[in-house]
Chain A
Amino acid sequence: MTTTSAKLLKLALPLIKNHGFTRETLSLSALSLPTPLANPLPDASVTALFGPGDDACRTLVHAWLDDARRRMKEEAIEKMGMGDVLKARLKSNEPVLEHLPEAFALLASSPLLPLPLLPVDPAPIIRHAAQVSNQACWIAHSDSSWYTRRATISAIYLAAELHQLTSPKTAPEFLDSLLENAEHAGKALDETALFASYVWKSWRGIVRSSGVLV
Protein backbone atom coordinates (compact mmCIF):
# COMPACT_ATOMS: atom_id res chain seq x y z
CA MET A 1 0.00 0.00 0.00
CA THR A 2 1.36 3.38 -0.95
CA THR A 3 1.73 6.31 1.38
CA THR A 4 -1.33 8.01 -0.06
CA SER A 5 -3.49 4.91 0.34
CA ALA A 6 -2.36 4.55 3.95
CA LYS A 7 -3.06 8.23 4.54
CA LEU A 8 -6.56 7.94 3.12
CA LEU A 9 -7.25 4.89 5.28
CA LYS A 10 -6.19 6.82 8.35
CA LEU A 11 -8.42 9.74 7.37
CA ALA A 12 -11.31 7.33 6.86
CA LEU A 13 -11.21 6.01 10.45
CA PRO A 14 -13.03 8.97 12.08
CA LEU A 15 -15.70 8.75 9.38
CA ILE A 16 -16.67 5.18 10.27
CA LYS A 17 -18.86 6.35 13.11
CA ASN A 18 -21.24 8.06 10.68
CA HIS A 19 -20.77 6.09 7.49
CA GLY A 20 -19.84 2.59 8.63
CA PHE A 21 -17.25 0.25 7.16
CA THR A 22 -18.24 1.15 3.62
CA ARG A 23 -16.79 2.21 0.32
CA GLU A 24 -18.51 5.54 0.87
CA THR A 25 -16.36 6.12 3.94
CA LEU A 26 -13.23 5.48 1.89
CA SER A 27 -14.52 7.73 -0.85
CA LEU A 28 -15.21 10.57 1.58
CA SER A 29 -11.76 10.31 3.14
CA ALA A 30 -10.33 12.26 0.18
CA LEU A 31 -12.22 15.31 1.41
CA SER A 32 -10.12 15.28 4.57
CA LEU A 33 -6.73 15.40 2.84
CA PRO A 34 -4.53 18.39 3.69
CA THR A 35 -5.32 19.53 0.16
CA PRO A 36 -8.80 18.09 -0.11
CA LEU A 37 -10.28 16.94 -3.39
CA ALA A 38 -13.29 18.88 -4.64
CA ASN A 39 -15.37 15.71 -4.68
CA PRO A 40 -15.28 12.32 -2.98
CA LEU A 41 -13.12 9.67 -4.65
CA PRO A 42 -14.91 8.07 -7.60
CA ASP A 43 -15.86 4.43 -7.20
CA ALA A 44 -13.22 3.24 -9.66
CA SER A 45 -10.56 5.03 -7.63
CA VAL A 46 -11.71 3.36 -4.43
CA THR A 47 -11.38 0.04 -6.25
CA ALA A 48 -7.94 0.96 -7.54
CA LEU A 49 -6.61 1.84 -4.11
CA PHE A 50 -8.44 -0.52 -1.78
CA GLY A 51 -9.83 -3.37 -3.87
CA PRO A 52 -13.09 -4.26 -5.58
CA GLY A 53 -16.46 -4.64 -3.88
CA ASP A 54 -16.35 -5.76 -0.27
CA ASP A 55 -12.56 -6.17 -0.40
CA ALA A 56 -12.28 -2.39 0.06
CA CYS A 57 -14.58 -2.61 3.11
CA ARG A 58 -12.45 -5.43 4.54
CA THR A 59 -9.37 -3.28 4.06
CA LEU A 60 -11.09 -0.59 6.13
CA VAL A 61 -12.09 -3.09 8.84
CA HIS A 62 -8.51 -4.33 9.13
CA ALA A 63 -7.25 -0.75 9.30
CA TRP A 64 -9.68 0.04 12.10
CA LEU A 65 -8.73 -3.09 14.06
CA ASP A 66 -5.03 -2.31 13.64
CA ASP A 67 -5.63 1.23 14.84
CA ALA A 68 -7.60 0.02 17.86
CA ARG A 69 -4.74 -2.27 18.88
CA ARG A 70 -2.26 0.54 18.40
CA ARG A 71 -4.34 2.76 20.67
CA MET A 72 -4.41 0.01 23.32
CA LYS A 73 -0.67 0.39 23.58
CA GLU A 74 -0.58 4.17 23.28
CA GLU A 75 -3.26 4.79 25.87
CA ALA A 76 -2.05 2.19 28.36
CA ILE A 77 -0.96 3.43 31.76
CA GLU A 78 1.46 1.92 34.22
CA LYS A 79 0.51 -1.36 35.91
CA MET A 80 -2.77 -1.91 34.15
CA GLY A 81 -4.32 -5.24 34.97
CA MET A 82 -5.65 -7.58 32.35
CA GLY A 83 -9.24 -6.60 33.09
CA ASP A 84 -8.51 -2.90 32.65
CA VAL A 85 -6.64 -3.46 29.42
CA LEU A 86 -9.44 -5.49 27.88
CA LYS A 87 -12.09 -3.07 29.13
CA ALA A 88 -10.20 -0.21 27.50
CA ARG A 89 -10.19 -2.15 24.26
CA LEU A 90 -13.92 -2.78 24.54
CA LYS A 91 -14.45 0.92 25.17
CA SER A 92 -12.75 1.77 21.89
CA ASN A 93 -15.49 -0.22 20.15
CA GLU A 94 -18.19 2.07 21.46
CA PRO A 95 -18.11 4.86 18.82
CA VAL A 96 -18.59 2.33 16.02
CA LEU A 97 -20.51 -0.32 17.93
CA GLU A 98 -23.53 -0.27 15.65
CA HIS A 99 -21.31 -1.03 12.66
CA LEU A 100 -19.24 -3.81 14.25
CA PRO A 101 -21.60 -6.73 13.47
CA GLU A 102 -21.35 -5.85 9.80
CA ALA A 103 -17.59 -5.48 10.09
CA PHE A 104 -17.14 -8.93 11.58
CA ALA A 105 -19.58 -10.38 9.09
CA LEU A 106 -17.42 -8.94 6.32
CA LEU A 107 -14.31 -10.49 7.83
CA ALA A 108 -16.00 -13.87 8.17
CA SER A 109 -17.45 -13.92 4.68
CA SER A 110 -14.41 -14.07 2.44
CA PRO A 111 -15.35 -14.33 -1.25
CA LEU A 112 -12.87 -17.18 -1.53
CA LEU A 113 -15.01 -19.43 0.64
CA PRO A 114 -16.73 -22.32 -1.13
CA LEU A 115 -20.25 -21.07 -0.50
CA PRO A 116 -22.59 -22.56 0.58
CA LEU A 117 -20.46 -25.43 1.88
CA LEU A 118 -18.64 -23.13 4.27
CA PRO A 119 -20.61 -19.90 4.49
CA VAL A 120 -18.62 -18.46 7.37
CA ASP A 121 -14.87 -18.44 7.93
CA PRO A 122 -14.05 -18.09 11.64
CA ALA A 123 -10.31 -17.63 11.09
CA PRO A 124 -10.26 -13.82 10.70
CA ILE A 125 -12.29 -13.33 13.88
CA ILE A 126 -10.17 -15.76 15.82
CA ARG A 127 -7.08 -13.99 14.53
CA HIS A 128 -8.51 -10.66 15.66
CA ALA A 129 -9.09 -11.97 19.18
CA ALA A 130 -5.63 -13.53 19.30
CA GLN A 131 -4.03 -10.24 18.29
CA VAL A 132 -5.96 -8.35 20.96
CA SER A 133 -4.94 -11.02 23.46
CA ASN A 134 -1.26 -10.72 22.52
CA GLN A 135 -1.37 -6.96 22.82
CA ALA A 136 -3.15 -7.17 26.15
CA CYS A 137 -0.58 -9.62 27.54
CA TRP A 138 2.23 -7.33 26.39
CA ILE A 139 0.61 -4.31 28.12
CA ALA A 140 -0.34 -6.16 31.34
CA HIS A 141 3.11 -7.75 31.54
CA SER A 142 3.23 -7.45 35.29
CA ASP A 143 0.60 -10.12 35.50
CA SER A 144 2.79 -12.84 34.02
CA SER A 145 0.37 -15.66 34.72
CA TRP A 146 -1.72 -14.58 31.75
CA TYR A 147 1.09 -15.27 29.32
CA THR A 148 0.42 -18.97 29.55
CA ARG A 149 -3.28 -18.53 29.01
CA ARG A 150 -3.53 -16.42 25.90
CA ALA A 151 -6.02 -18.76 24.26
CA THR A 152 -8.29 -18.31 27.25
CA ILE A 153 -7.96 -14.54 27.07
CA SER A 154 -8.79 -14.64 23.38
CA ALA A 155 -11.95 -16.62 24.03
CA ILE A 156 -12.92 -14.41 26.97
CA TYR A 157 -12.39 -11.27 24.95
CA LEU A 158 -14.44 -12.59 22.07
CA ALA A 159 -17.27 -13.54 24.41
CA ALA A 160 -17.19 -10.10 26.03
CA GLU A 161 -17.13 -8.38 22.65
CA LEU A 162 -20.09 -10.44 21.58
CA HIS A 163 -21.90 -9.51 24.78
CA GLN A 164 -21.07 -5.86 24.11
CA LEU A 165 -22.88 -5.92 20.79
CA THR A 166 -26.15 -6.84 22.44
CA SER A 167 -25.68 -5.21 25.84
CA PRO A 168 -22.99 -2.49 25.79
CA LYS A 169 -23.57 -1.28 29.35
CA THR A 170 -23.07 -4.63 31.03
CA ALA A 171 -20.07 -5.71 28.96
CA PRO A 172 -17.42 -4.60 31.54
CA GLU A 173 -19.09 -6.57 34.33
CA PHE A 174 -19.50 -9.55 32.06
CA LEU A 175 -15.80 -9.38 31.21
CA ASP A 176 -14.88 -9.20 34.89
CA SER A 177 -16.96 -12.24 35.69
CA LEU A 178 -15.39 -14.24 32.89
CA LEU A 179 -11.87 -13.31 33.96
CA GLU A 180 -12.60 -14.08 37.59
CA ASN A 181 -14.11 -17.44 36.86
CA ALA A 182 -11.32 -18.40 34.55
CA GLU A 183 -8.71 -17.46 37.12
CA HIS A 184 -10.32 -19.31 39.97
CA ALA A 185 -11.36 -22.37 38.08
CA GLY A 186 -7.86 -23.14 36.88
CA LYS A 187 -9.24 -25.06 33.96
CA ALA A 188 -8.06 -22.87 31.19
CA LEU A 189 -8.11 -25.44 28.42
CA ASP A 190 -11.58 -26.69 29.22
CA GLU A 191 -12.94 -23.20 29.44
CA THR A 192 -11.26 -22.14 26.24
CA ALA A 193 -13.12 -24.89 24.40
CA LEU A 194 -16.34 -23.92 26.13
CA PHE A 195 -15.94 -20.25 25.31
CA ALA A 196 -14.88 -20.97 21.76
CA SER A 197 -17.96 -23.07 21.16
CA TYR A 198 -20.22 -20.42 22.64
CA VAL A 199 -18.57 -17.59 20.78
CA TRP A 200 -18.50 -19.41 17.47
CA LYS A 201 -22.20 -20.26 17.55
CA SER A 202 -23.06 -16.70 18.44
CA TRP A 203 -20.88 -15.08 15.82
CA ARG A 204 -22.25 -17.40 13.19
CA GLY A 205 -25.74 -16.19 14.07
CA ILE A 206 -24.67 -12.58 13.85
CA VAL A 207 -22.99 -13.03 10.52
CA ARG A 208 -26.01 -14.79 9.08
CA SER A 209 -28.40 -12.17 10.36
CA SER A 210 -26.27 -9.30 9.08
CA GLY A 211 -27.37 -9.95 5.53
CA VAL A 212 -23.82 -9.93 4.19
CA LEU A 213 -24.21 -13.47 2.92
CA VAL A 214 -27.53 -12.82 1.18
Chain B
Amino acid sequence: MQVTRSIPRKLSACRLIHNHHILRSSGPAGRTTSFGFRTVPEESKESLVKGVFDSVASKYDLMNDASSLGVHRLWKDSFVDTLKPGRKGPLRCIDVAGGTGDIALRILDHARENYADRETTVDIVDINAQMLKEGFMRFKKTMYHNTPQVSFHEANAQELTASQFKNDSYDLYTIAFGIRNCTSVPAVLSEAYRVLKPGATFACLEFSKVNNSLLSTLYDQYSFTVIPLLGTILAGDRNSYQYLVESIRKFPSQPDFAQMIRDAGFSTGGDFDGGAWTELWGGIASIHTGVKI
Protein backbone atom coordinates (compact mmCIF):
# COMPACT_ATOMS: atom_id res chain seq x y z
CA MET B 1 0.00 0.00 0.00
CA GLN B 2 1.32 3.40 -0.79
CA VAL B 3 0.43 6.87 0.25
CA THR B 4 1.34 9.63 -2.09
CA ARG B 5 0.99 13.31 -1.85
CA SER B 6 0.96 13.97 -5.49
CA ILE B 7 1.14 17.69 -5.25
CA PRO B 8 2.38 20.16 -2.66
CA ARG B 9 -0.48 21.15 -0.44
CA LYS B 10 0.32 24.79 -0.80
CA LEU B 11 -0.83 24.46 -4.37
CA SER B 12 -4.53 24.53 -3.79
CA ALA B 13 -5.23 23.46 -7.33
CA CYS B 14 -3.74 20.09 -6.50
CA ARG B 15 -5.59 19.45 -3.32
CA LEU B 16 -8.54 17.22 -3.06
CA ILE B 17 -11.94 18.43 -2.21
CA HIS B 18 -14.82 16.46 -1.04
CA ASN B 19 -17.55 18.30 -2.59
CA HIS B 20 -18.63 20.00 -5.51
CA HIS B 21 -21.80 21.32 -6.88
CA ILE B 22 -22.46 24.81 -6.02
CA LEU B 23 -24.59 27.39 -7.64
CA ARG B 24 -21.98 29.51 -9.28
CA SER B 25 -22.43 33.11 -10.09
CA SER B 26 -20.29 36.07 -10.86
CA GLY B 27 -20.78 39.70 -10.24
CA PRO B 28 -19.01 42.76 -8.97
CA ALA B 29 -17.79 40.83 -5.98
CA GLY B 30 -16.43 37.95 -8.10
CA ARG B 31 -17.57 34.35 -8.55
CA THR B 32 -19.46 32.85 -5.68
CA THR B 33 -20.62 29.41 -4.72
CA SER B 34 -22.73 27.83 -2.02
CA PHE B 35 -21.37 26.60 1.23
CA GLY B 36 -24.41 25.03 2.78
CA PHE B 37 -27.03 27.76 2.72
CA ARG B 38 -24.37 30.47 2.66
CA THR B 39 -22.99 32.07 -0.46
CA VAL B 40 -19.25 32.39 -0.32
CA PRO B 41 -16.48 33.44 -2.71
CA GLU B 42 -15.55 30.48 -4.87
CA GLU B 43 -11.93 30.56 -3.82
CA SER B 44 -12.82 30.19 -0.16
CA LYS B 45 -15.08 27.17 -0.44
CA GLU B 46 -12.24 24.69 -0.67
CA SER B 47 -10.71 25.81 2.59
CA LEU B 48 -14.10 25.96 4.29
CA VAL B 49 -14.90 22.42 3.23
CA LYS B 50 -11.48 21.27 4.24
CA GLY B 51 -12.12 22.75 7.66
CA VAL B 52 -15.34 20.79 7.96
CA PHE B 53 -13.72 17.50 7.08
CA ASP B 54 -10.64 18.15 9.20
CA SER B 55 -13.04 18.69 12.04
CA VAL B 56 -15.14 15.58 11.53
CA ALA B 57 -12.53 13.17 10.14
CA SER B 58 -11.85 11.16 13.26
CA LYS B 59 -15.54 10.69 14.02
CA TYR B 60 -16.86 10.74 10.49
CA ASP B 61 -18.10 7.16 10.42
CA LEU B 62 -19.49 7.41 13.93
CA MET B 63 -21.46 10.46 12.97
CA ASN B 64 -22.61 8.90 9.74
CA ASP B 65 -23.88 5.93 11.71
CA ALA B 66 -25.62 8.12 14.24
CA SER B 67 -27.17 10.49 11.75
CA SER B 68 -28.35 7.82 9.33
CA LEU B 69 -29.06 5.12 11.91
CA GLY B 70 -26.51 2.98 10.12
CA VAL B 71 -28.32 3.19 6.82
CA HIS B 72 -25.34 4.75 5.02
CA ARG B 73 -23.65 1.35 5.31
CA LEU B 74 -26.56 -0.31 3.52
CA TRP B 75 -26.45 2.36 0.82
CA LYS B 76 -22.74 1.87 0.32
CA ASP B 77 -23.23 -1.90 0.17
CA SER B 78 -25.95 -1.41 -2.40
CA PHE B 79 -23.77 1.03 -4.34
CA VAL B 80 -20.90 -1.45 -4.68
CA ASP B 81 -23.19 -4.41 -5.22
CA THR B 82 -24.79 -2.60 -8.16
CA LEU B 83 -21.39 -2.16 -9.78
CA LYS B 84 -20.34 -5.78 -9.19
CA PRO B 85 -16.59 -5.11 -9.37
CA GLY B 86 -14.62 -8.15 -10.44
CA ARG B 87 -17.53 -9.94 -12.08
CA LYS B 88 -16.00 -9.82 -15.52
CA GLY B 89 -12.38 -9.71 -14.46
CA PRO B 90 -10.12 -7.36 -12.53
CA LEU B 91 -10.82 -3.63 -12.65
CA ARG B 92 -8.64 -0.61 -12.14
CA CYS B 93 -10.74 1.65 -9.93
CA ILE B 94 -10.42 5.17 -8.62
CA ASP B 95 -12.44 6.16 -5.55
CA VAL B 96 -12.53 9.92 -5.25
CA ALA B 97 -13.36 11.70 -1.99
CA GLY B 98 -12.87 8.25 -0.57
CA GLY B 99 -10.50 9.14 2.22
CA THR B 100 -11.97 6.91 4.88
CA GLY B 101 -11.68 3.96 2.53
CA ASP B 102 -15.09 2.46 3.11
CA ILE B 103 -16.03 2.29 -0.58
CA ALA B 104 -12.60 1.01 -1.61
CA LEU B 105 -12.76 -1.69 1.03
CA ARG B 106 -16.20 -2.76 -0.16
CA ILE B 107 -14.98 -2.88 -3.77
CA LEU B 108 -12.02 -5.08 -2.89
CA ASP B 109 -14.07 -7.31 -0.60
CA HIS B 110 -16.82 -7.71 -3.20
CA ALA B 111 -14.34 -8.72 -5.90
CA ARG B 112 -12.51 -11.12 -3.62
CA GLU B 113 -15.48 -12.74 -1.91
CA ASN B 114 -17.70 -13.12 -4.94
CA TYR B 115 -15.28 -13.66 -7.79
CA ALA B 116 -12.01 -14.72 -6.14
CA ASP B 117 -10.52 -11.59 -7.66
CA ARG B 118 -7.36 -10.36 -5.99
CA GLU B 119 -6.20 -8.32 -8.93
CA THR B 120 -8.73 -5.48 -8.82
CA THR B 121 -7.07 -2.31 -7.55
CA VAL B 122 -8.38 0.92 -6.05
CA ASP B 123 -6.64 4.27 -6.00
CA ILE B 124 -8.15 6.24 -3.12
CA VAL B 125 -8.12 9.98 -3.72
CA ASP B 126 -9.05 12.69 -1.24
CA ILE B 127 -8.17 16.34 -0.84
CA ASN B 128 -8.15 15.98 2.89
CA ALA B 129 -5.09 14.43 4.49
CA GLN B 130 -6.94 13.76 7.73
CA MET B 131 -9.54 11.67 5.97
CA LEU B 132 -6.83 9.79 4.09
CA LYS B 133 -5.11 9.09 7.37
CA GLU B 134 -8.32 7.56 8.70
CA GLY B 135 -8.58 5.38 5.63
CA PHE B 136 -4.95 4.34 5.84
CA MET B 137 -5.42 3.26 9.44
CA ARG B 138 -8.52 1.31 8.49
CA PHE B 139 -6.70 -0.52 5.71
CA LYS B 140 -3.84 -1.43 8.02
CA LYS B 141 -6.30 -3.75 9.72
CA THR B 142 -7.07 -5.57 6.48
CA MET B 143 -5.33 -8.04 4.19
CA TYR B 144 -4.98 -5.33 1.56
CA HIS B 145 -2.42 -3.35 3.55
CA ASN B 146 0.94 -3.26 1.82
CA THR B 147 -0.41 -4.79 -1.36
CA PRO B 148 -0.71 -3.27 -4.84
CA GLN B 149 -4.49 -3.46 -4.49
CA VAL B 150 -4.82 -0.12 -2.72
CA SER B 151 -3.03 3.22 -2.73
CA PHE B 152 -3.79 6.60 -1.22
CA HIS B 153 -3.41 9.93 -2.99
CA GLU B 154 -3.96 13.46 -1.76
CA ALA B 155 -5.33 15.30 -4.75
CA ASN B 156 -8.08 17.63 -5.91
CA ALA B 157 -11.02 15.91 -7.61
CA GLN B 158 -11.42 18.94 -9.83
CA GLU B 159 -7.85 18.95 -11.04
CA LEU B 160 -6.38 15.48 -10.91
CA THR B 161 -2.78 15.74 -12.03
CA ALA B 162 -2.51 14.41 -15.54
CA SER B 163 0.91 12.89 -14.96
CA GLN B 164 -0.35 10.73 -12.11
CA PHE B 165 -3.96 10.19 -13.16
CA LYS B 166 -3.54 9.54 -16.84
CA ASN B 167 -6.16 9.88 -19.54
CA ASP B 168 -8.23 6.77 -20.29
CA SER B 169 -6.69 4.76 -17.47
CA TYR B 170 -9.49 3.59 -15.13
CA ASP B 171 -12.31 1.05 -15.53
CA LEU B 172 -14.44 2.43 -12.72
CA TYR B 173 -14.71 5.85 -11.06
CA THR B 174 -16.61 6.04 -7.79
CA ILE B 175 -17.43 9.00 -5.59
CA ALA B 176 -19.67 8.56 -2.58
CA PHE B 177 -21.09 11.44 -0.57
CA GLY B 178 -18.31 13.66 -1.85
CA ILE B 179 -19.27 15.47 -4.98
CA ARG B 180 -21.67 17.91 -3.33
CA ASN B 181 -18.77 19.37 -1.35
CA CYS B 182 -16.74 20.29 -4.39
CA THR B 183 -16.61 23.84 -5.62
CA SER B 184 -17.36 22.91 -9.21
CA VAL B 185 -19.27 19.73 -9.97
CA PRO B 186 -18.75 20.11 -13.72
CA ALA B 187 -15.00 20.23 -13.16
CA VAL B 188 -15.12 17.00 -11.16
CA LEU B 189 -17.23 15.30 -13.83
CA SER B 190 -14.89 16.52 -16.52
CA GLU B 191 -11.91 15.01 -14.73
CA ALA B 192 -13.81 11.77 -14.20
CA TYR B 193 -14.49 11.61 -17.92
CA ARG B 194 -10.85 12.26 -18.69
CA VAL B 195 -9.37 9.52 -16.52
CA LEU B 196 -11.89 6.82 -17.44
CA LYS B 197 -11.27 4.42 -20.31
CA PRO B 198 -13.76 4.43 -23.19
CA GLY B 199 -16.65 2.19 -22.14
CA ALA B 200 -15.87 2.61 -18.44
CA THR B 201 -18.33 3.59 -15.74
CA PHE B 202 -18.77 6.68 -13.57
CA ALA B 203 -20.76 5.99 -10.41
CA CYS B 204 -21.81 8.51 -7.79
CA LEU B 205 -23.62 7.88 -4.53
CA GLU B 206 -25.00 11.10 -3.15
CA PHE B 207 -27.84 12.49 -1.09
CA SER B 208 -30.63 13.69 -3.32
CA LYS B 209 -34.18 14.94 -3.36
CA VAL B 210 -37.02 13.14 -1.61
CA ASN B 211 -40.06 13.25 -3.85
CA ASN B 212 -42.69 12.03 -1.41
CA SER B 213 -43.93 15.14 0.42
CA LEU B 214 -44.67 13.37 3.70
CA LEU B 215 -41.31 11.62 3.78
CA SER B 216 -39.64 14.86 2.74
CA THR B 217 -41.18 16.74 5.64
CA LEU B 218 -40.15 14.10 8.14
CA TYR B 219 -36.66 13.94 6.66
CA ASP B 220 -36.26 17.71 6.83
CA GLN B 221 -37.31 17.80 10.46
CA TYR B 222 -34.89 15.01 11.29
CA SER B 223 -32.02 16.53 9.30
CA PHE B 224 -32.20 20.05 10.66
CA THR B 225 -32.85 19.16 14.29
CA VAL B 226 -31.43 15.75 15.08
CA ILE B 227 -28.25 15.64 12.98
CA PRO B 228 -26.73 18.95 14.18
CA LEU B 229 -27.67 17.98 17.72
CA LEU B 230 -25.91 14.66 17.33
CA GLY B 231 -22.94 16.57 15.92
CA THR B 232 -22.81 18.59 19.10
CA ILE B 233 -23.15 15.57 21.37
CA LEU B 234 -20.93 13.05 19.59
CA ALA B 235 -18.36 15.23 17.91
CA GLY B 236 -18.65 18.54 19.74
CA ASP B 237 -19.10 20.24 16.40
CA ARG B 238 -22.55 21.52 15.52
CA ASN B 239 -21.51 23.83 12.70
CA SER B 240 -19.83 21.17 10.59
CA TYR B 241 -22.85 18.92 10.71
CA GLN B 242 -25.17 21.84 10.08
CA TYR B 243 -23.13 22.43 6.92
CA LEU B 244 -23.42 18.78 5.89
CA VAL B 245 -27.20 18.96 6.14
CA GLU B 246 -27.43 22.25 4.30
CA SER B 247 -25.14 21.07 1.52
CA ILE B 248 -27.46 18.13 0.92
CA ARG B 249 -30.37 20.50 0.34
CA LYS B 250 -28.37 22.59 -2.09
CA PHE B 251 -27.43 19.62 -4.25
CA PRO B 252 -29.23 19.39 -7.62
CA SER B 253 -32.26 17.18 -8.13
CA GLN B 254 -31.83 13.77 -9.72
CA PRO B 255 -32.76 14.89 -13.27
CA ASP B 256 -30.58 18.01 -13.00
CA PHE B 257 -27.57 16.02 -11.83
CA ALA B 258 -28.14 13.41 -14.54
CA GLN B 259 -28.06 16.22 -17.08
CA MET B 260 -24.79 17.50 -15.60
CA ILE B 261 -23.34 14.02 -16.02
CA ARG B 262 -24.44 13.99 -19.66
CA ASP B 263 -23.07 17.50 -20.15
CA ALA B 264 -19.68 16.15 -19.11
CA GLY B 265 -19.86 13.71 -22.02
CA PHE B 266 -21.20 10.58 -20.35
CA SER B 267 -24.06 8.49 -21.66
CA THR B 268 -26.77 7.59 -19.17
CA GLY B 269 -29.99 5.65 -18.94
CA GLY B 270 -33.30 7.53 -19.16
CA ASP B 271 -34.31 10.26 -16.73
CA PHE B 272 -36.23 8.06 -14.31
CA ASP B 273 -35.60 6.02 -11.20
CA GLY B 274 -33.93 2.86 -12.44
CA GLY B 275 -32.50 4.64 -15.47
CA ALA B 276 -29.91 7.38 -15.10
CA TRP B 277 -30.20 7.05 -11.34
CA THR B 278 -31.44 4.59 -8.73
CA GLU B 279 -33.14 6.04 -5.69
CA LEU B 280 -32.45 4.64 -2.26
CA TRP B 281 -35.01 5.02 0.50
CA GLY B 282 -37.38 7.19 -1.47
CA GLY B 283 -34.68 9.44 -2.85
CA ILE B 284 -32.88 10.31 0.38
CA ALA B 285 -29.85 9.13 -1.55
CA SER B 286 -29.38 8.13 -5.17
CA ILE B 287 -26.87 6.21 -7.22
CA HIS B 288 -26.08 8.03 -10.47
CA THR B 289 -24.19 6.28 -13.23
CA GLY B 290 -22.80 7.24 -16.60
CA VAL B 291 -20.72 5.55 -19.26
CA LYS B 292 -17.90 7.10 -21.24
CA ILE B 293 -18.63 6.31 -24.88
Contacts and interface: CB of A to CB of B under 8 A. Distances in A.
Interface of A: 1-5, 8, 30, 33, 37-45, 47-52, 55
A42 B267 contact: no
A30 B82 contact: no
Interface in B49-90: 82-85, 87-88
B290 A48 contact: yes
A25 to B, nearest CB: 14
A45 B291 contact: yes
28 contacts: A1-B269, A1-B270, A2-B262, A2-B268, A2-B270, A3-B267, A4-B293, A5-B268, A5-B269, A30-B293, A33-B293, A37-B198, A37-B199, A38-B199, A40-B199, A42-B91, A42-B171, A44-B83, A44-B85, A44-B203, A47-B82, A47-B84, A48-B201, A48-B269, A48-B290, A49-B267, A51-B275, A55-B274
Nearest to B199: A37
Interface residues of B, number: 25
B92 to A, nearest CB: 11
A79 B289 CA distance: 48
A45 B200 contact: yes
Nearest to A56: B269
Given A30-B293, A43-B88, A44-B84, A51 B274 contact: yes
Interface in B183-228: 198-201, 203
Interface of B: 82-85, 87-88, 91, 171-172, 198-201, 203, 262, 267-270, 274-275, 289-291, 293
B129 to A, nearest CB: 30
Nearest to A46: B291
B289 A47 contact: yes
A42 B200 contact: yes
A144 B253 CA distance: 49
A44 B82 CA distance: 8
A147 to B, nearest CB: 33
Given A37-B199, A38-B198, A48-B201, A43 B291 contact: no
Contacts of A4: 267, 291, 293
Contacts of B293: 4, 8, 30, 33, 37
